[in-house]
């Protein structure tokens, strides 16, 4: 198989569904060995079927990426099984909707642990292995990081932190031969069963995004593979993402006003 991903060992956090799962599927088609990850012991029926079909080229390792020892065990297990790590995709993320001051302390800590500390721990523990393979770290951020979205403060803040992490590590790890990039994901279609946290920690369905003409998960995953293949530092996906990136970069005050106006209109309609 003529593919730059052939026999590459790839860890994708938060990959039991969504973009992470689709990225793993596409990497498998390119000949990579994919380590899927989630916090639950049971990967779910969709991923379980995929693992059975590709038992020699994929595995699932349950680990809460917000827990340092769990992440160290994850990295150790992959190196023991496969002997190397070529690519780490920091995709695990949780979101919540609601006023920050109404969030339970435990919900705040849980989101920060998963979205930010999960990326920090895996970056830290994977570096020695990635140095040997001249590998890559890819942070999956969001257009919500470009300018914070009202009632999504925790998600916006932690996704913005991933951009800062990627920028720091880009220079820090360059002398070791490790490439670090960040994908700023625009609106992407959700599974019908996708949920987000409420301030009290209960779950609610994520609203339909059809009004924003979201990219398909397959198209977003394809952008991620192209970025990895070209070892590109930053990629913004989708029309909504590119619009947000351009306006927030050149006219940040205007973009903030546009977001505030949209938010206030949505509250009046509610």
Residues annotated catalytic, as ranges: 155
Cα 249 to Cα 26: distance, rounded to the nearest angstrom: 31
Kind plus residue range of the DSSP H or E element containing 138: strand 136-142
Asked whether 231 and 173 are in contact (CB, 8 A), the reply is no
CA 208, 234, 19, 217 torsion: positive or negative? Answer: positive
SS3 label, residue 257: helix
- What kind and span of H or E run contains 35? strand 33-38
DSSP secondary structure of 98-116: S-GGGS-HHHHHHHHIIII
Residue 170, C-beta contacts closer than 8 angstroms, at least 6 positions apart: 179, 180, 181, 233
């Amino acid at each position: 198989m003529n593919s730059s991903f052939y026999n590459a060992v790839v860890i994708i956090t938060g990959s039991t569904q969504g973009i992470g799962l689709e990225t793993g599927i596409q990497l498998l088609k390119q000949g990579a060995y994919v380590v899927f990850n989630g916090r639950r012991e049971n990967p779910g029926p969709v991923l379980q079927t995929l693992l059975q079909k590709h038992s020699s080229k994929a595995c699932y390792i349950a680990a809460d990426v917000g827990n340092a020892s769990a992440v160290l065990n994850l990295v150790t297990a992959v190196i023991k099984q496969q002997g190397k790590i070529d690519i780490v995709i920091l995709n695990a993320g949780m979101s919540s909707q609601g006023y920050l001051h109404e969030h339970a302390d435990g919900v705040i800590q849980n989101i920060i642990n998963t979205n930010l500390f999960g990326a920090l721990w895996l970056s830290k523990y994977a570096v020695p292995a990635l140095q040997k393979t001249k590998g890559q770290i890819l942070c999956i951020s969001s257009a919500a990081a470009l300018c914070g979205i009202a009632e999504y403060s925790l998600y916006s803040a932690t996704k913005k932190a991933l951009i800062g992490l990627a920028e720091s590590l880009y220079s820090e790890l360059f002398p070791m031969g490790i490439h670090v990039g960040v994908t700023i994901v625009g609106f992407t279609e959700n599974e019908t069963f996708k949920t987000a946290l409420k301030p009290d920690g209960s779950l609610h369905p994520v609203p339909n995004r059809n009004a924003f003409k979201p990219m398909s998960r397959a198209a977003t995953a394809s952008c991620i593979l192209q970025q990895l293949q070209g070892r590109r530092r930053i990629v913004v996906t989708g029309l909504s993402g590119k619009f947000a990136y351009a306006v927030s970069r050149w006219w940040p005050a205007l973009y903030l006003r546009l977001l505030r106006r949209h938010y206030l209109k949505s509250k009046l309609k509610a």
